[in-house]
A and B are shown apart, each in its own frame.
Chain A
Amino acid sequence: MMSPLNITVTDTTAGPVLEITGELDYSNATRLRDLLPTLTLESGRRLVLDLAGLTFCDSSGITALIAARTHAQAAGADAALAAVPANTLRILRIVGLDQVFALYPDSEAASRV
């Protein structure tokens, strides 16, 4: 039933792309947060979080997304979400994050700065 969290990092010319699959929740959201300091982020680049394979996201997951954005901004970069699933998009809309993150249909479009 539970699908484990898996995060794959790919570096593109535009910046790192994090492909997040499975469930991002209270039990594992720190894995995303712990990963952030290891990313190479330069000013003017973009951190893309590809959520196409994200099956579940709770408030701890939302916190980790906010942490990713804060981390990118601290490096002078920005953060974008790609392929946000409908159930997560609904939560993002409620908490206003749909206006804070740039949203793209897929990671390719998101990496085209």
Chain B
Amino acid sequence: MCRTGQQPDPHDSGRGAWTDAAFAALLEDSAEELYDSAPCGYLSTLMDGTIAKINATLLGWLGRDRAEVVGRMRFTDLLTVGGKLYHETHYAPLLRMQGEISGIALEVKRSDGVRMPVLVSSAVKHGSTGEPVLIRTTLFDARDRRAYEEELLRGRKEAEKARKQAEEARRQAEEARRQAEADRARLQEALAVLQQSLLPADLPPIPGMSTAAHYHTASPDRLGGDFYDVFPLDGKRFAFFLGDVCGKGPQAAAVTSLTRYTLRAAALHESDPVTALTTLDTVLHERYTGTGDPRYCTAIFGTVDPDPVSGHATVRLASGGHPPALVLRADGTADYLPTPGGFLVGALPGARFATTGTVLGPGDTLLLYTDGLTEARTGTSRDSLYGDDALLAFATTHAGDAPDALVHALTDLLAGFGDGLDDDTALLALGVPAPAPTPSRT
């Protein structure tokens, strides 16, 4: 609310003496005095920009005398180079077009060269015939405002910088995550390839017999230590083996690889099962004794000699510390083929291996397995295991099954253990097909 200064406020009569004095002082404040000492800069220029009138406030800001400015300088002479340019390209054209312009931020240059930010407004005064006569310009001190703006700008720049840094950090984290995922995928792929190289891609067909195998990997990140293989010895006989290397991971895989190729080479040289295991024992000993990292395996090695005339297959087995093989008969019975006294392969000098043998008739199947199967946990306690008796009972119910049907049933059994199956498990079954008419067993 403001006073007009002409009419005393009727409610203010109690303080009449004081207000009268104040009004007297205001009235003495001449228009000239107000112009010269106003808290803003005033400037009037001719239409060509020559300064015709300037107030003391603005002269004070500029640090100049009236004499050196009036009639001698143009408005643009007060501006910085950038300000001149802006004036030329924007300010003056807009002013000409609109007749007035307000609130433009410019910088004036003081006599000492220091720049001072100002907010500039101008209006064109027209003569009685409507022609432009002069330009009246007001300048407000914008130093505080500029400082505030600069502060805002700096704050905004810093926020922007922080945002960019955060974005960059996020991008790098994302990149690292993607890289880690790619590395992990690559590693798993490499591990899968390596794992496959430890096992035969396909079992070779054995005339007059059928075979089936299964490998359960407990963890895709850890190379398993179980292995098996089937391969021809000569025109007639075949060799096979299945085993379990102690430990897990790359070191165990290296032992598995060494074991597989040693047994293959040994068997081609001398097919006797005990000799094959003895050769492996020697090789593992030489390789790992004195390394401070003893490595050994358990294994069953066998040969099978199918007789096409009788339809029977003669099996010879040697075991080095491996769980006993199972034989499932066509008559519905099943039995272990015990091999007690066979030593771990590669663990002890002078290891002995146990031998056994059997003859498979039509409908009979031999099953080799690793202890992942019998040691699968079936209860909450760590030693409530599936066990030999349960496996024998399971085998008995499947006696007469062809190898692929038996392995299929065992695969289902393994799946049923769920988390209880925390070790790799290998299965290998060899059988003589039952005679027709049982097409499912051929």
Contacts and interface: CB of A to CB of B under 8 A. Distances in A.
A23 B381 CA distance: 12
B348 A100 contact: yes
Interface residues of A, number: 21
A66 B382 contact: no
A1 B383 CA distance: 11
Given A63-B246, A96-B342, A23 B382 contact: yes
B351 interface: yes
Interface residues of B, number: 24
A5 to B, nearest CB: 13
Interface stretch (A11-19, A38-46, A52-60, A105-113): A52-60
A70 interface: yes
Contacts of B246: 59-60, 62-63
Given A60-B246, A94-B322, A97-B344, A1 B351 contact: no
Contacts of B347: 63, 66, 95
Contact of A60 (B244, B247, B341, B382): B247
A7 B247 CA distance: 22
Contacts of A87: 383
B382 A96 contact: no
Interface in B234-267: 244, 246-248
B222 to A, nearest CB: 11
B323 interface: yes
Interface string B43-73: 0000000000000000000000000000000
Contacts, number: 55
A66 B294 contact: yes
Contacts of A1: 380-382
B343 interface: yes
Given A55-B382, A59-B246, A59-B247, A96 B323 contact: no
A94 B383 contact: no
B117 interface: no
A26 B133 CA distance: 101
A55 B382 CA distance: 9
Given A2-B382, A87-B383, A100 B321 contact: no
B340 interface: yes
B294 A96 contact: no
Nearest to A58: B375
Contacts of A9: none
A57 B382 CA distance: 10
B352 interface: yes
A96 B247 contact: no
Contacts of A56: 382-383
Given A60-B247, A70-B294, A96 B381 contact: no
Given A23-B382, A96-B351, 20 more contacts: A1-B381, A55-B382, A59-B244, A63-B246, A63-B247, A63-B294, A63-B296, A66-B296, A66-B348, A67-B294, A87-B383, A94-B322, A95-B321, A95-B343, A96-B343, A96-B344, A96-B352, A97-B321, A99-B341, A100-B343
7 contacts: A1-B380, A56-B382, A63-B347, A93-B340, A95-B321, A96-B344, A97-B321
10 shortest interchain CB distances as A-B pairs: A95-B321, A96-B343, A95-B344, A59-B246, A56-B382, A96-B321, A66-B347, A87-B383, A96-B342, A63-B246
